[in-house]
Amino acid sequence: MPEDSVPELVEEPGAPTGSAIVSFGERLVRVFDSVGQLCVGIDPHAYLLGEWGLPDDARGLRDFGRRVVDAAAGIVGIVKPQVAFFERHGAAGYSALEAVLSAARDAGLLVIADVKRGDLGTSVEAYGQAWLTPDGPLEVDAMTASAYQGVGSLAAPLELAAVTGKGVFVLAATSNPESRVIQTALLADGRSVASSIVGDVVQWNSARGDGVGSVGLVMGATARFADYGIDLESLVNTPILAPGFGHQGAAYADLRTIYGPAAGMAVVSSSRGVLAAGPSGIAEAIATQAREVLECRE
């Protein structure tokens, strides 16, 4: 990555002057240890906006997102806005998203932008700069990315994440059934596509130090990882973004069964499962589900 493309580094809030950047992996572990592994999705589906009594416009998006942030703050440590629901309203939607991201940062929440960007060269570098640049209008703590063109194609955002204390979650074994035929396809070396992505991410993290890495994987809770040839033992220090719980069918009680020795690294994502509780019930729903996930850890 060219030197002039790397933003000025910022220190962790509250850290002593001159202290080193705290990695995303380390910050994630701190959240797990303090409030647990539940991550609340911010997915303003049109039907949910209606159920919440909000208009399907930028104001409705902003109010919906802020209410979710207010309900999550102090109960969980991570939120995950699905950017597509904001993007469908164009510039006004992005303005609403910026307001929600700002509120989440002010609340001390880790924010994972579910953007699933993927490209190569300067294009993917620009995607990384959009979401991972400190003090940028769309600044988040981590973003999701697609490695359809190979994990190596994501080098620029991965390197940017490393120097700014951010994270990237690379799609590997997703929960949608349509993905299975591609992700289980075998390469010339006998590995599946998903397994090769897992191996490349583990290697990337290992080359950059010990402890929990800052590059993670998206591995849906409804996938059977044995069918993908994924060795869960290799992922004990790799963050895993784990959608598929609640509305999509996976149960929190099965967290350890699904992820095995890597269960402690799972960012357990729940979106419609808590959002369906509505504005008056969402705080209680988050608290209840956060306790259920915490009990699976004990």
Instruction: Give the residue numbers annotated as catalytic, written as ranges.
Output: 116
H/E segment holding residue 168:
strand 167-173
Local structure of 186: helix, strand or coil: strand
Please, how many CA atoms are within 13 Å of residue 203, restricted to the half-sphere of its CB?
A: 9
From CA 124, how far away is CA 154, in angstroms rounded? 7
Query: Which residues are CB-neighbours of 234 under 8 A, at least 6 positions away?
Result: 198, 199, 202
From CA 87, how far away is CA 73, in angstroms rounded? 24
Alpha carbon of 295 to those of 38, 256, 288: distances in Å? Answer: 11, 11, 11
Closest by alpha carbon to 134, among 109, 104, 160?
160
DSSP secondary structure string for all residues of 33-65? HHH-SEEEEE---HHHHHHTT--SSHHHHHHHH
Neighbouring CB atoms inside 10 A of 62's CB total 22
DSSP secondary structure string for all residues of 98-153? HHHHHHHHHTT-EEEEEEEE---HHHHHHHHHHHHSTT-TT--SEEEE--TT-GGG
Please, what's the largest Cα pairwise distance for the chain?
54
Triad 136, 137, 138: Cα angle to 5°: 90
The tokens describing 172, both together, are 């590997």
